[in-house]
């Protein structure tokens, strides 16, 4: 409930429409309350006295009230839909913007499928509750109060029957609401699981087909689907008991009212019109109970969804700007030169609670240097370079750029100085030109072509049907792995970074193209008038790093050796073993 109330702040910009919708609803309830009284007038003063004028005039009045109520209902619906849709759109946008602020650590904890469900299904549940509130949930209590007061005015004795019935009905609704919300939360959790399975399957459908694992994936999806179905059926079974029970109680109350009311008509000054009006009010009273019964499911689902949305909205990014953080050029008094220093850096993905991935790393990359990082799988290579743009923050020690701790500068100003190309090249829907321009939309066509040429992508781009205007398929499906990697490198180069990070970004590129790429990158980076670029290269192939200014060998999260190729061959057993396994006998002359 608290989470729902907090999300209602998104309705504030549309409060005028919401208030107008509520006013219309109040007018509709007044019209509803007036109808039974008009029926009583027709029966007692028209039929009872055989006065056709009263019957005609009252009937016309009833028609007029009904027409006005219909227009009020249309207006209320239009405004309620407008408020709910705009609130849903704003909530979805705010949730999406919040996700963009989350650091890698937060995103490691939230699975993609879970976030997708929160952005879609959970937002829809909250949106539908707002719609139902403005159309139904407000009408129900107002109609209930109006009907009860009208029944008391007609007959206090008959109203005592409702005094017995109402607590029972309210107790049932409260009981069902208490039972339903945890069940709806489990339904959304099952939907998370189903969506995760679906997202993974669609993203890896080629792997599934390549390994003939369709039957396994079908069974995996079926289990998630059956879990969701079973939980949903359990909720519906619970709610299916509520409506018939309320209907039974209302019908029993109606029978009791007719029995007692008929005796009053025969023995007391109690008219048939009054009895009909009382019964009509009682039936009207049943309508709010029915609405509340239907709302239980929606309210419980929205409550569970609001909790899940708030879980994301209240997540505090693991990495964020310090209050006193300033742009990097401002701290340096000009553009950065690109000197990167690791000073006794230790890092663990879960703070101090787990074994560190990196241990006491001290390393300096001078401006314009190319620093290669080698090591076995799991040695911490990618983790090391992810600390430079603050995808994660160090657990101990610090990382500086030109002497400034990266935590003292703003994230945006830090990351605009860094270009990064990852092993898994992620491309977006749009043209090849748009993908290369992604980090710098204002770049000219000439700059795009220059970056593509340096990344050895220009020739294959021109061979495509539309050249640079060729549309990239979903996740770059119409391009090879090597082509996607070269586009990712071009995208990183176009931002003119002071620090360039190539995280095994040529693993899908052939050796000849890789050699051309290395030469072109060296020429491009070394001839820029604005200054040199410091390059960090993570590579699995030794041939990629032979000409690096500095080669860092990592072993189990620690620096095992640092030096140039020839020096490491002579002094580092780990480096020599890697070299021997890839390029031959390890002789220095081969280097």
CATH of residue 276's domain is 1.20.1560.10
Q: Are 343 and 397 in contact (CB under 8 A)?
A: yes
Mean pLDDT, residues 169-191 taken together: 79
Q: Does residue 251 form part of some domain? A: yes
Please tell me the distance from the alpha carbon of residue 3 to that of residue 129, in angstroms, as a whole number: 13
Mean pLDDT, residues 335-350 taken together: 91
In 3D space, the residue among 311, 306, 312, 304 whose CA is nearest the CA of residue 3 turns out to be 306
267 half-sphere exposure, CB direction, 13 A CA radius = 6
Q: How many domains does the chain have?
A: 1
What's the pLDDT score for residue 587?
A: 43
Please tell me the distance from the alpha carbon of residue 407 to that of residue 319, in angstroms, as a whole number: 9
What's the pLDDT score for residue 389?
A: 92
265 half-sphere exposure, CB direction, 13 A CA radius = 14
Confidence category of residue 529, pLDDT binned at 50, 70, 90: very low
Please tell me the distance from the alpha carbon of residue 162 to that of residue 220, in angstroms, as a whole number: 53
Q: Comparing 402 with 294, which gets the higher pLDDT?
A: 402
Using the predicted structure, report yes or no on whether residue 49 has a pLDDT greater than 90. Answer: no
Please tell me the distance from the alpha carbon of residue 420 to that of residue 490, in angstroms, as a whole number: 10
- Please write the tens of the pLDDT for every residue from 276-331: 888 888 777 777 777 776 677 777 778 878 888 888 898 888 888 999 999 999 99
370, β-bridge pairs: 535
- Please write the tens of the pLDDT for every residue from 127-154: 988 988 888 777 878 888 888 888 888 8
Most confident of 187-201, 373-387, 505-519: 373-387
Using the predicted structure, report yes or no on whether residue 362 has a pLDDT greater than 90. Answer: yes
What's the pLDDT score for residue 591?
A: 40
pTM over 0.85: no
Please tell me the distance from the alpha carbon of residue 424 to that of residue 66, in angstroms, as a whole number: 64
- Please write the tens of the pLDDT for every residue from 197-253: 887 777 677 677 666 778 888 888 888 889 888 888 887 787 777 778 877 887 888
Q: Comparing 438 with 205, which gets the higher pLDDT?
A: 438
In 3D space, the residue among 511, 489, 513 whose CA is nearest the CA of residue 501 turns out to be 489
Q: Does residue 551 form part of some domain? A: no
Q: Is 15 exposed, middle or buried (0-12, 13-18, 19+ CB in 10 A)?
A: exposed
Q: Is 500 exposed, middle or buried (0-12, 13-18, 19+ CB in 10 A)?
A: buried
Beta-carbon contacts of residue 278 (< 8 Å; ≥ 6 apart): 151, 154, 155, 158, 257, 261
User: What domain range is 40 assigned to?
Assistant: 2-313
Q: Does residue 67 form part of some domain? A: yes
Confidence category of residue 437, pLDDT binned at 50, 70, 90: very high
Q: Does residue 453 form part of some domain? A: no
Lowest mean pLDDT among 23-32, 348-357, 521-530: 521-530
Q: Does residue 309 form part of some domain? A: yes
- For residue 274, the SS3 value is helix
Using the predicted structure, report yes or no on whether residue 588 has a pLDDT greater than 50. Answer: no
Count the helices and strands in the chain (H runs, E runs).
21, 12
Q: Does residue 341 form part of some domain? A: no
Please tell me the distance from the alpha carbon of residue 506 to that of residue 333, in angstroms, as a whole number: 35
What's the pLDDT score for residue 490?
A: 92
Beta-carbon contacts of residue 453 (< 8 Å; ≥ 6 apart): 520
Q: Does residue 452 form part of some domain? A: no
Using the predicted structure, report yes or no on whether residue 156 has a pLDDT greater than 60. Answer: yes
Residue 474, both tokens:
């979903």
Kindly report the average pLDDT of the chain as a whole number.
84
Using the predicted structure, report yes or no on whether residue 406 has a pLDDT greater than 90. Answer: yes
Q: Does residue 262 form part of some domain? A: yes
Confidence category of residue 585, pLDDT binned at 50, 70, 90: low
Q: Inter-axis angle of helices 272-313 and 15-41, to 10 degrees?
A: 160
What's the pLDDT score for residue 363?
A: 94
Beta-carbon contacts of residue 562 (< 8 Å; ≥ 6 apart): 363, 550, 551, 552, 553
Q: Is 62 exposed, middle or buried (0-12, 13-18, 19+ CB in 10 A)?
A: middle
């Amino acid at each position: 409930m608290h989470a729902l109330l907090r999300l209602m702040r998104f309705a504030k910009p549309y409060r005028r429409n919401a208030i107008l919708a509520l006013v219309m609803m109040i007018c509709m309830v007044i019209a509803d309350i007036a109808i039974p009284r008009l029926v009583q007038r027709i029966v007692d003063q028209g039929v009872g006295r055989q006065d056709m004028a009263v019957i005609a005039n009252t009937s016309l009045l009833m028609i007029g009230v009904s027409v006005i109520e219909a227009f009020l209902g249309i207006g209320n619906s239009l405004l309620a839909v407008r408020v709910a849709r705009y609130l849903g759109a704003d909530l979805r946008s705010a949730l999406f913007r919040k996700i963009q602020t989350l650091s890698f650590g937060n995103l490691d904890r939230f699975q993609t499928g879970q976030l997708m469900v929160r952005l879609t299904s959970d937002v829809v549940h909250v949106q539908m509750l707002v719609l139902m509130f403005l159309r139904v949930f407000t009408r129900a209590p107002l109609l209930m109060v109006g009907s009860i007061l009208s029944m008391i005015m007609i007959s206090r004795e008959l109203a005592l029957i409702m005094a017995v019935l109402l607590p029972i009905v309210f107790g049932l609704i409260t009981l069902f609401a208490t039972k339903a919300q945890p069940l709806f939360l489990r339904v959304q959790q099952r939907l998370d699981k189903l969506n995760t399975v679906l997202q993974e399957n669609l993203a890896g459908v080629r792997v599934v087909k390549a390994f003939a694992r369709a039957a396994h994936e079908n069974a995996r999806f079926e289990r998630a689907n059956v879990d969701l179905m079973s939980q949903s059926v359990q909720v519906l079974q619970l709610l299916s008991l509520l409506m018939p029970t309320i209907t039974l109680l209302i019908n029993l109350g109606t029978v009791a009212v007719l029995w007692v009311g008929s005796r009053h008509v025969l023995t007391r000054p109690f008219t048939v019109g009054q009895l009909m009006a009382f019964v009509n009010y009682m039936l009207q009273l049943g309508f709010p109970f029915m609405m509340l019964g239907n709302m239980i499911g929606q309210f419980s689902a929205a409550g569970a969804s609001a909790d899940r949305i708030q879980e994301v909205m209240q997540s505090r990014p693991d990495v964020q700007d310090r209050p006193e953080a300033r742009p990097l050029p401002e701290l340096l008094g000009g553009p950065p030169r690109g000197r990167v220093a690791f000073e006794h850096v230790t890092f663990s993905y879960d703070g101090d609670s787990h074994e560190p991935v990196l241990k006491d790393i001290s390393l300096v990359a001078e401006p314009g240097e190319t620093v290669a990082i080698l090591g076995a799988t799991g040695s911490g290579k990618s983790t090391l370079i992810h600390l430079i743009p603050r995808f994660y923050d160090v657990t101990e020690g610090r990382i500086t750029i030109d002497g400034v701790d990266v935590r003292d500068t703003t994230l945006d100003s830090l990351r605009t100085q860094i270009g990064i190309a990852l092993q898994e090249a992620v491309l977006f829907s749009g043209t090849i030109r748009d993908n290369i321009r992604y980090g710098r939309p204002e770049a000219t066509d000439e700059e795009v072509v220059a970056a593509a040429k340096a990344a050895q992508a220009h020739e294959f781009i021109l061979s495509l049907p539309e050249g640079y205007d060729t549309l990239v398929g979903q996740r770059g499906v119409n391009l090879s792995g090597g082509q996607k990697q070269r586009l990712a490198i071009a995208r990183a180069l176009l931002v003119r970074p002071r620090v360039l990070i190539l995280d095994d970004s040529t693993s899908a590129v052939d050796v000849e193209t890789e050699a051309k790429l290395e030469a072109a990158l060296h020429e491009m980076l070394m001839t820029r008038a604005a200054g040199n670029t410091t390059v960090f290269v993570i590579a699995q192939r030794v041939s990629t790093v032979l000409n690096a200014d500095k080669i860092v060998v990592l072993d189990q999260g620690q620096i095992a050796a640092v030096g140039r190729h020839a020096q490491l061959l002579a002094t580092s057993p780990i480096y020599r073993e890697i070299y021997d396994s890839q390029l031959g006998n390890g002789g220095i002359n081969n280097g």
